[in-house]
Amino acid sequence: MSGWIELSEELQRLHGRTVETPLFNPVFQLAHNLSRKLEAGELTLDDFDALIAELEVAALGARAARMTAMIGPVGEAENAAEFAASLDAPDFAAFAERWERPQLHAVFTAHPTFLLTPAQTAAVASAASNGSAIDPASIAGARPKITLAYEHGEAMKAMAHAQDARDAIVAQLLDHAQTRWPDQWHELAPLPFRFASWVGYDMDGRTD
């Protein structure tokens, strides 16, 4: 078995046998087949390590692909251009009325699930944002200990990203207003969106 794709195809083939009997377990059978290959010397423990690593990278890639499909990220320049094209207004009053009222109220749970390591989280975010491949190095190394400091840091990071996005929008709104209405733009108090954060810390059995 040369890689995770072949492994997946073998599992699908075995799954097809479930139509013969509901008692057939394709996962158990695959594990049994792999154990027999190990006993026969057709596979080594190093081969298993490599397969597991490939599966981890593939799983992270699939997670990034799902995230991309959900949020549809675009480049900053393209995003700014599309936003600028939506700013036209007949007069300053109409512009202010639109952008001094929040377009969105967002609440970030800001609660890490701890499924991924920090390196894996960064790799998935990067792949989902710019279409890059998952770096195999992201699955290497020991899993760091989860602490309240880490949880809090992740929550603050999420809020900082939201603040950066808000600041970019506000700056673009002010620039547009200054260009269109140079005598009134300073009266604008843009509030494109409000955000809040609900942060929960797991305390069960924790001593830190």
pLDDT in tens, 36-69: 999 999 999 999 999 999 999 999 999 999 999 9
State mean pLDDT over 179-201: 86
Domain ranges in the chain are 73-197
Query: Within a 10 A sphere around the Cβ of 8, how many other Cβ atoms?
Result: 13
Q: Which of 26-30, 129-133, 144-148 has the lowest mean pLDDT?
A: 144-148
- What is the pLDDT at residue 110? 55
Q: What is the mean pLDDT of the chain?
A: 87
Which residues contact residue 131 at a Cβ distance below 8 angstroms, ignoring those fewer than 6 apart? 68
Name the 3-class secondary structure at 174. helix
Burial zone of 7 (CB within 10 Å; 0-12 exposed, 13-18 middle, 19+ buried)? middle
pLDDT tens profile 85-122: 999 899 999 999 999 999 988 887 656 667 888 899 89
State mean pLDDT over 141-151: 79
